[in-house]
């Protein structure tokens, strides 16, 4: 067995960041930028009001309550062509540009407008600048809004739009093929024949791939047949940037994935000192990384989290591809025996009110018990030994 870190560094050496491309803003979500993005102009682009109310001269309302002459209305999007003179006010809506002459906004709740709309009573004094959002308050002209290497999340996309950047330089979104292998697998709802089970891995793995921001490509189900596995792998390596398979990498008589990949690729078959997900076949076919994950449903997911997610993140241009654990405490005993492996237990972690996550097993810990994985929101990392007792610290890999 080799340590997790060694297996993962080997995976990361073979996964390289993709092509640098420019994509439309609408296509940029979850990608990583390749250059600094600077603002050509300020945000907000003009002084505007943060409230519905009245634009006034602060000096005029210093002795409030006062009555001001109302000289017009400015809506959001309107040109502020009404000057506010001494003793005057302009009705103004949130987001509208400040009219010349005014230096403060009184919110509508502090005012009473005359029924003929010729005057307004202001109940309280306000300071200069009250409720005004000044030009450049969020972003200044020339400011680097995000450095190269930024992972574009929803708010980043909004900032790009607000600075008028609609073509975004990024690492290309990798296409990741997903294949299930096994004679026992049935695609679709059934009915199941004798000895058959539904192919669940492909559905979890497709969703896991998409959760990284990469694009999952469903390459279907391949039986335990050497020829068909070879054809499927060659085609997958040619059409995708990486391939994730499940099944066929253990010690069984019909575990052809390992055999075929050894023949056609530059593969390494590893026994990693972890439980679940000990076997991993990883390498390249014509330069395309192939993740040969184990078939047991929990194992394939854990293996994805530990190896494929890190590899795909590196391909997407992340400089910190390995997801970092957070520290929580054991909400119940997490017992195990020494076996030379690090265990990744399926746990449910909840905030315990003391600013900590308290984690307990989310169900049965067998590698076929996928329902405990579904009930889990984290993997608890239990080092080799006798386990972790209630109240002791435990590292959690959030799912
Ligand atoms: P293998 O790694 O091919 O030896 O498979 C190990 C176990 O995982 C066996 O019980 C398989 O039936 C099961 N298995 C393999 N592939 C899948 C799959 N795609 N969906 C659900 N179970 C699977
Ligand atoms: Mg199999």
C-beta of 246 in contact with ligand 1 (< 6 A): yes
Nearest CA to ligand 1 atom 7: 296
C-beta of 220 in contact with ligand 1 (< 6 A): no
pLDDT digits (tens, 9 = 90+) for 269-303: 999 999 999 999 999 999 999 999 999 999 999 99
**Domains recognised in the chain with CATH numbers:** 4-18+174-315 (3.40.980.10), 20-43+139-171 (3.90.105.10), 48-133 (2.170.190.11), 326-398 (2.40.340.10)
* Ligand in closest contact with the CA of 246: 1
C-beta of 200 in contact with ligand 1 (< 6 A): yes
Residue in the structure block whose two tokens are 């993709």: 18
Report residue 255 CA to chain centroid gap: 34
Counting atoms of ligand 1 from 1, which one is nearest the CA of 221? 19
Model-level pTM? 0.94
- Pick from 247-256, 258-267, 341-350: least confident: 247-256
Distance 239 CA to ligand 2 centre (A): 24
Distance CA(193)–CA(188), nearest Å, equals 12
Distance CA(324)–CA(223), nearest Å, equals 36
Predicted pLDDT of residue 255: 86
Mutating to test ligand 1, I would choose from 296, 369, 371 the residue with most ligand atoms within 8 A of its C-beta, which is 296
C-beta of 245 in contact with ligand 1 (< 6 A): no
Neighbours of 117 (CB within 10 A): 11
- Give the residue from 55, 52, 68, 49 showing the smallest Cα distance to 123: 68
Contact between 288 and 235 (Cβ < 8 Å):
no
* Ligand in closest contact with the CA of 296: 1
pLDDT digits (tens, 9 = 90+) for 357-399: 999 999 999 989 999 999 999 999 999 999 999 999 999 999 9
C-beta of 279 in contact with ligand 1 (< 6 A): no
Distance CA(395)–CA(379), nearest Å, equals 8
Q: How far apart are the first and last CA of the chain?
A: 26
Nearest CA to ligand 1 atom 12: 184
Neighbours of 260 (CB within 10 A): 26
Q: What is the mean pLDDT of residues 334-348?
A: 98
Mutating to test ligand 1, I would choose from 193, 225, 245, 246 the residue with most ligand atoms within 8 A of its C-beta, which is 246
pLDDT digits (tens, 9 = 90+) for 199-230: 999 999 999 999 999 999 999 999 999 999 99
Distance CA(104)–CA(90), nearest Å, equals 11
Q: What is the mean pLDDT of residues 182-194?
A: 94
Report residue 26 CA to chain centroid gap: 16
pLDDT digits (tens, 9 = 90+) for 301-328: 999 999 999 999 999 999 999 999 999 9
Distance 253 CA to ligand 2 centre (A): 9
pLDDT digits (tens, 9 = 90+) for 105-146: 999 999 999 999 999 999 999 999 999 999 999 999 999 999
Containing 315, the helix (H) or strand (E) segment is helix 309-315
CB contact burial 9-21 (16+ within 10 A = b; e otherwise): ebbbebbebbeee
Phi and psi torsions of 200, nearest 5°? -95, -30
Q: Is the pLDDT of residue 250 over 90?
A: no
* Ligand in closest contact with the CA of 294: 1
């Amino acid at each position: 067995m080799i340590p997790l870190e060694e297996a993962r560094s080997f995976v990361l050496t073979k996964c390289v960041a993709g092509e640098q491309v420019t994509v439309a803003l609408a296509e940029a979500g979850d990608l990583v930028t390749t250059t600094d993005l600077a603002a050509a102009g300020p945000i907000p682009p003009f002084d505007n009001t943060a409230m519905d109310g009245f634009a006034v001269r602060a000096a005029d309302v210093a002795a409030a309550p006062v009555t001001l002459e109302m000289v017009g209305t400015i809506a959001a999007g309107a040109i502020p062509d009404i000057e506010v003179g001494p003793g005057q006010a302009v009705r103004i809506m949130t987001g509208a540009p400040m009219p010349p002459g005014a230096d403060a906004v009184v919110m509508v709740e502090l005012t009473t407008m005359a029924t003929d709309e010729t005057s307004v009573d202001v109940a309280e004094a306000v300071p200069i600048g009250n409720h005004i959002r000044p030009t450049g308050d969020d972003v200044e002209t020339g400011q680097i809004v995000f450095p190269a290497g930024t992972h574009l999340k929803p708010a980043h996309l909004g900032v790009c739009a607000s600075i008028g950047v609609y073509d975004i330089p990024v690492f290309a979104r990798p296409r990741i093929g997903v294949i299930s292998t096994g004679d026992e697998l049935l695609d679709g709802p059934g009915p199941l024949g004798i000895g058959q089970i539904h192919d669940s891995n492909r559905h979890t793995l497709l969703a896991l791939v998409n959760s990284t921001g990469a694009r999952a490509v469903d390459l279907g189900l391949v039986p335990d047949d050497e020829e068909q596995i070879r054809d499927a792998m060659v085609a997958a390596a040619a059409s995708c940037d990486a391939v994730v398979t499940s099944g066929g990498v253990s010690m069984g008589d019909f575990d052809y994935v390992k055999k075929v990949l050894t023949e056609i690729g530059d593969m390494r078959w590893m026994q990693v000192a972890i439980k679940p997900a000990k076997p991993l076949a990883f390498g390249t076919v014509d330069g395309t990384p192939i993740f040969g994950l184990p078939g047991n449903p929990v194992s394939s997911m854990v293996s994805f989290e530990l190896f494929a997610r890190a590899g795909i993140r590196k391909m997407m241009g992340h400089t910190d591809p390995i997801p970092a654990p957070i520290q929580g405490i054991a909400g119940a005993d997490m017992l195990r025996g020494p076996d030379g492996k690090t265990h990744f237990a399926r746990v449910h972690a909840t905030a315990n009110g003391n600013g900590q996550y308290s984690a307990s097993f989310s169900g049965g810990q067998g590698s076929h018990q996928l329902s405990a994985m579904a009930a889990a929101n984290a993997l608890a990392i239990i080092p080799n030994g006798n386990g972790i007792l209630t109240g002791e610290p435990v590292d959690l890999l959030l799912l």
